[in-house]
Structures are given as C-alpha cells and as structure tokens.
C-alpha cells in the first residue's frame, strides 16, 4: 500500500482497535453475567471508580429483586440510576465530596446480617474517590500526599500501598466493616497484573502490604510531608486486614474485565483488516517516554524485516506507564508523552502509525483520551514552529497533538482497563 493513500485507512483501523478495546470492557456487557444469586436478606450495592455509575446501572437493570446503595464516580462520569444513588467527586486528587460519600458508604455496610449481600463494583479511580482519612489525618493530608505521589512517577501499585495505610475504608477495611454479610466484589481492572488488592486500593480485599512498606515508598521518592502522614505511618497503630482475617472469610472477588481482554478485541480488529497482531503484553509499566523510545526501536526493526513478524502488522500493548513531572505547568498525560517520545525516536520513518489512549477517555489532565502519530507528524510539528524535544522535556506533550489536530477525543467512556497502545507497521 502507498503511505499517502493508506494514511486515512490507518487512522480508521487504529481508532477501530481502540473502540473495540473499550467495548470489550463495557459494564453493560460484563456485569450482568457475573452477578451473584439473590440473598435471603438485603442487597447493598457499593460502587466506586470511573466505571462505578455504569457498573451500578448494569447491575440494577439485571438484578431480580430489591437493592439500593451508592455509586461514587469521577465528575462527568455519572449516569442515571433508578435505585442506586450516584455521587460524583474529584479524581485524581480527592475532595470533600469524595470524603463525605466514603463516610456514607462505610456507614451503609455496618450492622448487616449474615443473610445480607454487599455487592462491590470496583474500577480504577476508586482509591482517590473514596477519600476517607484514617483517624488523626485530614483531607488536606490526603490531598497533599496524593499530589506528591502523582508528581513522583511512582507506579500505581506503590501509590496504593501508601493510600491503603492512610485510609479508614481501603485495604480490606470496607469488607471488614460489612462482616458478617456476604461480600461479592466485581472488578474492572485498570492495574498491571490485575491484582484485586491494587485496584482502587482493594476496599474489600485482604492487604498483604504494611505500614513499613508505605514508609519505604515515601522515602524512595523523597516525600517528607505532610508531617502528620509520616507520623501516622510510623505509629502503625492499626494494620489493614491481612489474608486469613476472619472478617474477610465471606468475601469473594472476581475480575470481570481487564486489559488482556481488550487487547484481544483490538487484535481481532487488526486481523479483520488484514494485519498480523502481536500483543507485547498487558501489564507494561515504566516511564512513558522510555517505553515510547523502546517501542519505536522495536517498530523500526519490524519495519525493516529484522523481526520474525513481517509487515503489515500491529504491535499492541496495555498497562500503565508513569510520568515524572519535571516542569510544573506542562499539559499532557502519559499516553501523549509516550507518543511524543515515540514520534521523536521514529524520526519520520515511513509506514509507521501509532495510537495510545486511556480507555477511560481521559489522558492526564486534559479532555482527550490520547492521540495518533503518523509518518509525517514530526515534519508537521516542526513546520508549525514547535520544538518537540523541548516540549517533551517540559511535560507538554498535549500541546503537540492539540496543534496537529491529532488528539483522540472520546469523552468519558464509563469504563477503565487502563491504556491501550497500537503501532501499525505498513508494508
């Protein structure tokens, strides 16, 4: 295929793969089949995360019997439910709305009987949304530590170890409060490895981590404030419920959607378009710019026949990269930073196209899910008078793709299995 004629088709294929990945994690598709049997007693729905409202709606539409509860989601991610109250709060830095909702959630599950059921619908983002500080801490303390961790470049697993030990509801504490009720947790996973204890900081899952580990993580990233947080971690007064805790004996967990399933759906689209897909992994982590550079090198090897897989092909990957913020005020998220680094490393190589986006529809602080790179992207950036290497160093990747008109904008997708990346290599 000629690259000029193929460019529009390549964009369509990339966008179709991204859409298929999102659709594979649609709560309306994955929640109903995973619902447990109706209990003898009450059914209380607790939903938290970016997909909380859509998961709650899917559950109540499929549920045969009475239910009620609370769905706590990010601003702009709410949908109407008939019997479950939907509350919106701030993400990624928590706010008072999230704190108040989390307190209500904890109260709602207390005092239940063994005949009752707590249906927990958990998705990525729930950790920041359910901001209920442990005794002795304030919302301001939580906000400060969240902001510091986000700037540090710490992976989500480490961030959530800290969050669990500063919380009155996460790290299994929600399930412990609900005992002796049966607790069934359905998870749409946004974390590499799909560890249920990491997704939303595992409010209904036993926590194997410790106060000491949380302190070590803060030390690793040289986070020394707030003083109240460090004092709380050092005191280590009440550990999170551990595996084998009798209060979690009636708690079960099921991951119902994850990056691996979304990548398979994207691969099916690629095959239908006559492209050979290769899934590099569903749990890739590390600095976004470093992964972008590495993937550019891999794509170039495929393009010139140095790998067994020949073009036309698509390299697919999932997971969650990180961005260490080096310059305050830069606009961009991890997907656009990955793509800008990849663009620079490709240096205008012909026949290589790429898309990276967050399946929740929001990449970082901007309104785009991600962006697209084409063989002429670097040339167009330079023609626009921008200095892409400088913008990369200033964490200003969004500026590049906004200028090019190559942002991928979906709006909130009401699900979240983290990032989906596709590199299309044409022959």
DSSP secondary structure of 210-270: -HHHHHHHHHHTT----HHHHHHHHH--SPPPPTT-GGGTTEEEEEEE-HHHHHHHHHHHH
262: phi then psi, degrees, rounded to nearest 5:
-70, -40
More confident residue, 325 or 158: 158
Pairing label, strands 352-358, 419-425: antiparallel
Q: Is residue 193 predicted with pLDDT exceeding 70? A: yes
**13, 113: one domain:** no
Q: Is residue 1 predicted with pLDDT exceeding 50? A: no
| Coil vs helix vs strand at 371 | strand
Q: Look up the pTM and report it.
A: 0.88
C-alpha torsion 96→100→101→105, nearest 10: 150
CA distances from 424 to 217, 274, 338, 394 (A): 37, 12, 15, 28
C-alpha torsion 135→187→18→352, nearest 10: 70
| Coil vs helix vs strand at 84 | strand
CATH number at residue 80: 3.40.50.10180
**188, 42: one domain:** yes
- Residue-wise pLDDT for 262-299, tens only, equals 999 999 999 999 999 999 999 998 999 999 999 999 99
Pairing label, strands 251-257, 276-284: unpaired
**Number of structural domains, the chain?**
2
Q: What is the DSSP letter of 209?
A: -
- Residue-wise pLDDT for 253-269, tens only, equals 999 999 999 999 999 99
135: phi then psi, degrees, rounded to nearest 5:
-55, 135
Q: Which residues pair with 84 in a beta bridge?
A: 69
User: 219, 241, 257: which is the final residue of a domain?
Assistant: 257
**19, 85: one domain:** no
Instruction: Give which of 94, 204, 98 is closest to 141, Cα–Cα.
Output: 94
Q: Which residues pair with 73 in a beta bridge?
A: 88
Across the beta sheet with 352-358, the strand order is 276-284, 313-319, 419-425, 352-358, 370-373, 407-408
**13, 81: one domain:** no
CA distance linking residue 136 with residue 74, whole number of Å: 26
pLDDT of residue 7: 76
Q: Is residue 354 predicted with pLDDT exceeding 90? A: yes
DSSP H helical ranges for 153-210: 156-164, 173-178
CA distance linking residue 115 with residue 82, whole number of Å: 24
pLDDT of residue 241: 94
**13, 135: one domain:** no
Supply the mean pLDDT for the chain: 93
User: 209, 241, 257: which is the final residue of a domain?
Assistant: 257
**15, 46: one domain:** no
DSSP H helical ranges for 63-182: 96-109, 126-129, 139-152, 156-164, 173-178
More confident residue, 5 or 195: 195
CATH number at residue 327: 3.40.1480.10
pLDDT of residue 5: 59
More confident residue, 304 or 62: 62
Q: What is the DSSP letter of 192?
A: T
| Exposure class string for 49-69: b at 16+ Cβ within 10 A, else e | bbbbbbbbbbbbeebeeebeb
- Residue-wise pLDDT for 361-393, tens only, equals 999 778 899 999 999 999 999 999 999 999 999
**113, 137: one domain:** yes
More confident residue, 154 or 51: 51
More confident residue, 238 or 316: 316
- Residue-wise pLDDT for 96-152, tens only, equals 999 999 999 999 999 999 999 999 999 999 988 999 999 999 999 988 988 898 888
**282, 301: one domain:** yes
228, with CB counted inside 10 A (0-12, 13-18, 19+), is middle
The distance in angstroms from the start CA to the end CA of the chain is 7
**178, 301: one domain:** no
Q: Is residue 338 predicted with pLDDT exceeding 50? A: yes
| Coil vs helix vs strand at 282 | strand
Domain residues for 214? 26-257
pLDDT of residue 327: 72
Q: Is residue 2 predicted with pLDDT exceeding 50? A: no
Average pLDDT (193-210) is: 93
Instruction: Give which of 61, 162, 167, 65 is closest to 121, Cα–Cα.
Output: 61
CA distance linking residue 45 with residue 50, whole number of Å: 16
pLDDT range class, residue 401, cuts 50, 70, 90: very high
CA distance linking residue 273 with residue 290, whole number of Å: 30
411: phi then psi, degrees, rounded to nearest 5:
75, 175
| Coil vs helix vs strand at 322 | strand
**314, 252: one domain:** no
User: 200, 234, 257: which is the final residue of a domain?
Assistant: 257
Q: Is residue 400 predicted with pLDDT exceeding 50? A: yes
Joined together, the tokens standing for residue 92 give 């990624």
pLDDT of residue 276: 95
Residue 171 φ/ψ region, left for φ over 0, alpha for ψ in the -120 to 50 degree band, beta for the rest: left
Joined together, the tokens standing for residue 382 give 């330079």
**142, 231: one domain:** yes
Percent of the residues in the chain that have a pLDDT greater than 70, as a whole number: 99
**10, 113: one domain:** no
């Amino acid at each position: 295929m000629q690259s000029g004629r193929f460019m529009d088709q390549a964009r369509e294929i990339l966008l179709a793969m991204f859409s298929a990945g999102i659709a594979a994690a649609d709560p309306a598709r994955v929640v109903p089949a995973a619902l447990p049997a109706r209990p003898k007693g009450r059914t209380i729905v607790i939903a938290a995360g970016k997909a909380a409202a859509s998961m709650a709606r899917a559950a109540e539409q499929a549920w045969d019997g009475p239910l009620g509860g609370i769905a706590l989601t990010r601003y702009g991610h709410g949908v109407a439910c008939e019997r479950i109250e939907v509350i919106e709060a701030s993400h990624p830095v928590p706010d008072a709305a999230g704190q108040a909702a989390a307190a209500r959630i904890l109260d709602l599950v207390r005092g239940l009987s063994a005949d009752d059921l707590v249906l927990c619908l958990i998705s990525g983002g729930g950790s920041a949304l359910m901001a209920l500080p442990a005794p002795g801490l304030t919302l301001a303390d939580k906000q400060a530590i969240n902001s510091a961790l986000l700037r540090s470049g710490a992976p989500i697993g480490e961030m959530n170890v800290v969050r669990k030990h500063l919380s009155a509801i996460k790290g299994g504490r929600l399930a412990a409060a609900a005992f002796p009720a049966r607790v069934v947790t359905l998870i749409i996973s946004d974390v590499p490895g799909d560890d249920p204890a990491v997704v939303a900081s595992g409010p209904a899952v036993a926590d194997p981590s410790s106060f000491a580990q949380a302190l070590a993580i803060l030390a690793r990233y040289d986070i020394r404030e707030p003083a109240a947080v460090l004092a709380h971690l050092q005191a280590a007064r009440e550990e999170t419920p551990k595996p084998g805790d009798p209060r979690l004996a009636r708690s079960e967990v099921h991951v119902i959607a994850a990056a691996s399933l979304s990548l398979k759906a994207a691969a099916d689209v690629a095959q239908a378009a006559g492209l050979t897909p290769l899934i590099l992994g569903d749990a890739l982590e590390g600095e976004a710019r470093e992964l972008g550079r590495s993937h550019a090198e891999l794509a170039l090897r495929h393009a010139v026949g140095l790998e067994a897989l020949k073009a036309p092909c698509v390299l697919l990957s999932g997971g969650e990269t990180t961005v260490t913020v080096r310059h305050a005020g830069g606009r961009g998220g991890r997907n656009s930073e990955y793509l800008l680094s990849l663009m620079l490393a490709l240096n205008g190589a012909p026949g290589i196209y790429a898309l990276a986006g967050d399946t929740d529809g929001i990449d970082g602080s901007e309104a785009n899910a991600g962006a697209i790179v084409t063989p002429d992207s670097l040339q167009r950036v330079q023609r626009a008078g921008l200095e892409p290497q400088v913008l990369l160093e200033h964490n200003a990747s969004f500026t590049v793709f906004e200028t090019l008109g190559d942002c991928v904008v979906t709006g909130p997708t009401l699900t979240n299995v983290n990032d989906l990346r596709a590199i299309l290599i044409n022959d």
